[in-house]
Every structure is written in structure tokens, then in C-alpha cells.
């Protein structure tokens, strides 16, 4: 059987995106614990897998890869199971666009500027207010491209949904985030459908298991 390893830890948005793709393909894999914020820093050997010291890193049958979008597209291309991108060029371009907008405009805004900022206590309200305006733009952009069903692109679950879900899993845990999602009914319906996937249950963040 092919040997598949994900390096990273369970609290990471990007590690969860890769794990979601593997779970949706019903692939078996190992998760090797790497904590980029550990007091002692990263193990030196890890930088051979990821020269920028981020997580996740990935290895499949000796083939090493980093950068989450590259990893999930590779998983979709190589692993058996349901296709996680549409078959047509426009649909695939839309999935790529959404993955990129999430990386560039949603991750830092919704996870670090809102969820982590609130979790720290003594939150910087100016930073949060600015982030909430950007989060609203993200949601409108996602709604603009959603199809008739719950999914972000076309009529089936895709890598776009898997790239968004862990970001929203943190964001919705704040009062601000939950309220913003409620004001975007299509996003709320998307979240309900996505969070009901067994892949989401199999990859819960520790914080989701304690409350």
C-alpha cells in the first residue's frame, strides 16, 4: 500500500485542508506531529522538507511536497475516489480562484485578526473591525460564485470547499464570526452542508472537541 504522510499538527488550518482532501478520498495516511510554534523551534530536519518552516509538509511514496494548494491538487489527481475539482476549465479556474482568495484575503483576516485576537482576550477592536469588513468582502465574493446547491463551485464538493472549511471552523467560534455568517444565508447553508461531512468530524480542531 502507498505510504502517505502529513507533517503538521491538528490545530493548523492548512494541515486540516490536506487531511480533508485525504479523508474525502478515503485514503489512509500518517500524521507526524510538527509544531511550528514549539518553544524550541522546528526540528532542523523538518527544514529539509519545508525550507520556509511552515506546516504542512507532505510525502507520498517518496515524493515530497509543500504548499497546501499543490498538495491537495496532487491528492486529487493521484488518489482514487471522487474527483474534487470540476471537469471543465471554467469550473477548475473558479476553484483555483477561490483557493487563492482564501489564502490571500481570508486566512489571516478571519483566523488571526478575529479568532486568535478574540481568543487572546484584551482584543484590539480596531484590528477586529477592519478584519470584519474584509471578512464581509470575502463572504460576498464566495456567494457571488456559488452554484445552486450548497457548494462553493458547481454542483459538487470541491477543493474550494475544503480550503474554506477550516478557516470558517475557527471564525464561526467568535460571536462576530457567527453573526456575520448568519447575515449571509448562502454561506450559512454552505457551512451546514460542509460541517456535516464525515471528513470534518474526522479532523476536528482540539478546540471544537472541548466546547
Binding site for ligand GSH (CB under 6 A): 12-14, 36, 53-55, 67-69
The answer for residues whose C-beta is within 8 angstroms of residue 131's C-beta and 6 or more apart is: 109, 110, 113, 114, 117
Q: How far is the CB of 38 from ligand GSH (least distance, A)?
A: 11
Of residues 68 and 109, the one with the C-beta less far from ligand GSH: 68
Q: Whats the size of the chain, residue-wise?
A: 211
Of residues 11 and 186, the one with the C-beta less far from ligand GSH: 11
Of residues 55 and 132, the one with the C-beta less far from ligand GSH: 55
Q: How far is the CB of 126 from ligand GSH (least distance, A)?
A: 23
Write the DSSP assignment of 174-190 as a string of letters. Answer: SHHHHHHHHT-HHHHHH
Q: How far is the CB of 6 from ligand GSH (least distance, A)?
A: 11
Of residues 19 and 54, the one with the C-beta less far from ligand GSH: 54
Closest by Cα among 32, 58, 20 to 199: 20
Number of neighbouring beta carbons within 10 Å of residue 132 = 19
User: What dihedral angle (degrees, nearest 10) is formed by the CA atoms of 202, 206, 210, 211?
Assistant: -80
Q: How far is the CB of 56 from ligand GSH (least distance, A)?
A: 6
Amino acid at each position: 500500500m502507498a505510504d502517505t504522510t502529513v507533517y503538521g499538527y491538528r490545530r493548523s488550518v492548512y494541515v486540516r485542508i490536506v487531511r480533508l482532501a485525504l479523508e474525502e478520498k478515503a485514503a489512509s495516511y500518517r500524521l507526524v506531529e510538527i509544531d511550528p510554534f514549539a518553544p524550541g523551534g522546528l526540528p532542523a530536519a523538518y527544514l529539509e522538507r519545508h525550507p520556509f518552516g511552515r506546516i504542512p509538509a507532505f510525502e507520498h511514496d517518496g515524493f515530497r511536497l509543500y504548499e497546501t494548494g499543490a498538495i491537495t491538487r496532487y491528492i486529487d489527481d493521484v488518489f482514487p475516489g471522487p474527483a474534487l475539482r470540476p471537469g471543465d476549465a471554467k469550473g477548475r479556474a473558479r476553484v483555483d480562484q477561490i483557493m487563492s482568495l482564501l489564502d490571500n484575503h481570508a486566512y489571516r483576516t478571519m483566523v488571526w485578526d478575529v479568532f486568535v485576537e478574540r481568543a487572546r482576550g484584551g482584543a484590539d477592536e480596531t484590528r477586529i473591525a477592519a478584519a470584519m469588513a474584509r471578512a464581509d468582502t470575502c463572504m460576498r465574493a464566495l456567494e457571488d460564485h456559488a452554484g445552486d446547491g450548497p457548494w462553493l463551485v458547481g454542483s459538487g464538493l470541491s477543493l474550494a470547499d475544503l480550503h474554506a472549511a477550516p478557516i470558517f471552523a475557527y471564525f464561526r467560534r467568535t460571536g462576530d464570526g457567527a453573526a456575520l455568517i448568519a447575515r449571509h444565508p448562502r454561506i450559512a447553508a454552505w457551512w451546514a452542508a460542509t460541517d456535516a461531512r464525515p471528513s470534518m468530524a474526522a479532523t476536528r480542531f482540539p478546540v471544537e472537541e472541548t466546547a
